């Protein structure tokens, strides 16, 4: 029986994915997930707040990585280049999680409760990035605008990369941020 919390979470996440694919999200309980993984329901709730959260356990790691990377960007770097640099730091994490992420995506897309949770997690990440930019001295309205635009650009880069792996994720990130810059310049 695994004793490492990370190992237990991974087993619970894999069991949840299997059950959601077999039965659907609505017909699966936290107890079902725990039993499939070989644990008690109590163990499940020690690791996850609810059966939606089982798919989003890595959000804190991504948030911490991105906000730390924003803080580490050299002083004087404009907000969008700071975010772009931070998103590049997240590439190994995204690439490492790809096999699981690809299997989860259809389940999330097909399940309103999971789509809602994904949107809430995305909004929380934008808020954390806004705070990280504000800590660098960026004024609130600009910090919020850049955090949202940066997160959307990052998401588009990941979607493009998922659809076409001819180029690596770093290249897709650079292209998406270049597209954003070119369109912003067209407003002048």
Answer yes or no: do 69 and 46 share one domain. Answer: no
To 10 degrees, what angle do helices 79-110 and 5-23 make? 50
Answer yes or no: do 139 and 98 share one domain. Answer: yes
The predicted pLDDT at position 2 comes to: 61
Query: Minimal CA–CA distance to 21: which of 109, 115, 148, 123?
Result: 109
Answer yes or no: do 35 and 89 share one domain. Answer: no
Answer yes or no: do 66 and 140 share one domain. Answer: yes
**25: containing domain:** 5-53
Q: How confident is the model at residue 1 (pLDDT cuts 50, 70, 90)?
A: low
Q: Work out the widest C-alpha separation in the chain, in whole angstroms.
A: 62
Answer yes or no: do 80 and 169 share one domain. Answer: yes
Q: Is 185 exposed, middle or buried (0-12, 13-18, 19+ CB in 10 A)?
A: exposed
Helical H runs in the chain? 5-23, 30-37, 41-47, 59-72, 79-110, 112-135, 140-163, 169-186
Mean pLDDT in the chain?
Answer: 93
Answer yes or no: do 60 and 146 share one domain. Answer: yes
Mean pLDDT of 5-31: 93
- Torsion angle of the four alpha carbons 11, 12, 14, 15, in this order, in degrees rounded to the nearest 10: 110
Query: Minimal CA–CA distance to 100: which of 3, 28, 12?
Result: 12
The predicted pLDDT at position 93 comes to: 92
pLDDT single digits (tens) 26-55: 999 999 999 999 999 999 999 999 999 998
């Amino acid at each position: 029986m695994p004793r490492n919390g990370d190992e237990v979470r991974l087993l619970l996440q894999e069991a949840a994915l299997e059950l959601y694919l077999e039965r659907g999200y609505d017909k699966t309980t936290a107890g079902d997930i725990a039993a499939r993984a070989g644990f008690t329901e109590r163990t499940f709730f020690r690791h996850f707040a609810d059966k939606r959260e089982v798919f989003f356990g890595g959000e804190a790691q991504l948030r911490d990585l991105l906000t730390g990377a924003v803080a580490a960007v050299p002083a004087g770097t404009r907000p969008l280049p700071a975010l772009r640099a931070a998103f590049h730091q997240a590439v190994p994490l995204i690439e490492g999680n790809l096999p699981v992420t690809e299997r989860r995506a259809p389940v999330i897309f097909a399940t309103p409760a999971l789509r809602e949770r994904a949107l809430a997690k995305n909004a929380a990440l934008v808020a954390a990035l806004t705070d990280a930019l504000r800590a660098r001295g960026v004024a609130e309205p600009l910090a919020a605008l850049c955090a949202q635009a940066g997160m959307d650009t990052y998401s588009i880069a990941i979607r493009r990369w998922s659809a076409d792996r001819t180029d690596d994720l770093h290249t897709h990130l650079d292209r998406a941020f270049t597209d954003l810059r070119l369109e912003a310049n067209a407003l002048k």
